[in-house]
Amino acid sequence: MWAVMEAFAIVRDFHFAGGVVLWTIGVNTLIMWTLICERTLYYRFALPKEINRVTHTWFSRDDRRTWYAQHIRQKLVAEVCSNAHFSLPVIKCMITLCPLFGLLGTVTGMIEIFDVMNAFGMNNTRSMASGISRATLPTMAGMGAAIFGLMGYRALLRYYEIQVQTIADQLSLSTRGAAT
């Protein structure tokens, strides 16, 4: 229990040293990773069921060679693509926001340093150090969150592209098989 309280105190002190912008980066990162985890669970459990449903729907058709049947196949593939791609643009946007929030933290920290220099001159180094902390910590946190978020996003995107190609190939192979 003591270790948990100590870890919470470290995180709290880190966030207070970085200012309000660091809290914004933290909330953005939490939401981003929640969405990444949701997509991972969807790809692991729900997407295979959806692919099986679409494949079953396609194979249960007698007609797979006409123009109308090909449009139905395209619709089935588009449904799977749409559902699988659902929150990927939001995740990408949140990854893009992380360094921008870090830059905002840098600017606000520098403004604080300039305010201290204006009020006290170069003599108050403790207040200047606080401003430097508020300038560098959000930048570091924003870049770190963006880098790790980008790695998770790229893994999801790669898996999405593989699954979409697999379902498209699976349904088009069955079309060619029906033609022969």
DSSP per-residue codes, 4-43: HHHHHHHHHHHHHHH-HHHHHHHHHHHHHHHHHHHHHHII
Question: 97: which residues sit within 8 A by CB, 6+ positions away?
Answer: 28
Task: Summarize pLDDT for 51-101 with one digit per residue, the tens.
Answer: 999 999 999 999 988 999 999 999 999 999 999 999 999 999 999 999 999
Instruction: Convert 65-91 to b/e letters by CB count within 10 Å (16 or more is b).
Output: eeeebeebbeebbeebbeebeebbeeb
pLDDT tens per residue, range 108-144: 888 888 888 888 888 777 777 777 888 899 999 999 9
pTM: 0.85
Dist CA 142 CA 23 (whole Å):
11
Alpha helices (H) in 19-124, listed in sequence order: 20-41, 47-59, 67-84, 88-120
Render pLDDT for 92-112 as a digit per residue (tens, 0 to 9).
999 999 999 999 999 988 888
Task: Say what the alpha-carbon torsion angle 158, 159, 160, 164 is, to the nearest 10 degrees.
Answer: 110
Map out the domains of the chain as residue ranges: 103-168
